[in-house]
Amino acid sequence: MTYGETLKIIRQNKGYSQQYLAKDILSQSSFSKFEHNQSDINFIAFHQLLERLNMTYNEFSFIHENFQRQPKVQLIKDFFSLPYNSKSDLQKTLTTIEDYLQHNEDLLIEDLHIICKALLALWKEQGMEEARKLVTPIWERMSVLHNWYAIDFLILNSILYVFPIETAIEISKNMIQRLERYKQFEEVYYLKSSVQINISLLLIKNKHYNEALEVLNQLLNQQQKSLSYVLLAICLYRKEICLQKLNPTTDKPYLTKALELAKIYEDDSLLNAITLEFEKYTNI
């Protein structure tokens, strides 16, 4: 099915006439030829047609692909949804990426391939040096860019853990500053909270508990109501880690709240992650 044919189906389902949709954008004859795959139209006109349909390109593409994501789009979504502390999930994704690259040349997917290998390297003894060597060219390329876009923020957020703490924090602060330009663009701006949560773990790993607590309290004070239950649970139990390291007590209210959230949503994976991470960083 062509784009024009998909557009025709959507237009008809909405009950719009060709004349209404094409008005001040294309002549009706040009629009009709596009719908019948007899001619093409430029991007500006296509974008204007989608706006009149009150539809984003992402939604149109999803419908055009028979209500499925394109393989590349799905691969990108799966990668950035990965639990990076799961070696099996990382290995499975690496295989999927390598299969994709056998048939497609794509610079972004090549970057994801490198990052995936770097994250897997962290599972090896002395793997940090290998991981840093792999992702350094990506950072060097991106560090000189005047602007970062949505995919750039996602990439940087996925490689923070392989840098020394001082470098990672500087990158994170830079990301948060640049994300201010995206505060009206929800698809990207939510990353700000994810970056802050990543900073908190970096600080905890390096025993900077007061600084980590400050980051977590700021996030909870400013965005608690808009956080997903997963991010909220992570904030709560990491706050408890900091408090326990600074002033150990038998009472652990924030850990209890995090565990309750995981149980309410019947998220066994989150429940297990909370338990393991809390034990790991309160016993060091």
For the chain, what percent of residues have pLDDT higher than 90?
77
pLDDT of residue 188: 81
Classify domain 164-284 at the CATH topology level. 1.25.40
**Residue extents of the structural domains in the chain:** 3-64, 71-146, 164-284
Chain mean pLDDT for the chain:
93
Residues 6+ apart with CB under 8 A from 58: none
**Would you say domain 3-64 falls under CATH 3.40.630.10?**
no
pLDDT of residue 187: 75
Q: How confident is the model at residue 225 (pLDDT cuts 50, 70, 90)?
A: confident
Q: How confident is the model at residue 67 (pLDDT cuts 50, 70, 90)?
A: very high
Classify burial at 237, counting beta carbons within 10 Å of its beta carbon; exposed 0-12, middle 13-18, buried 19 or more: buried
Q: How confident is the model at residue 2 (pLDDT cuts 50, 70, 90)?
A: very high
Q: How confident is the model at residue 120 (pLDDT cuts 50, 70, 90)?
A: very high
Tokens of 147: 């602007």
Q: What is the DSSP letter of 283?
A: -
**How far is the C-alpha of 166 from the C-alpha of 235, rounded, in Å?**
21
pLDDT in tens, 238-274: 999 999 999 999 999 999 999 999 999 999 989 998 9
pLDDT in tens, 5-54: 999 999 999 999 999 999 999 999 999 999 999 999 999 999 999 999 99
Phi then psi for residue 10, to 5 deg, are -65, -45
pLDDT of residue 98: 97
Of 36, 64, 30, 68, give the one whose Cα is nearest residue 50.
64
Is the distance from CB of 35 to CB of 12 less than 8 angstroms?
Answer: no
pLDDT over 90 at 283, yes or no: no
More confident of the two residues 281 and 83 = 281
pTM, two decimal places: 0.83
Q: What is the mean pLDDT of residues 207-224?
A: 94
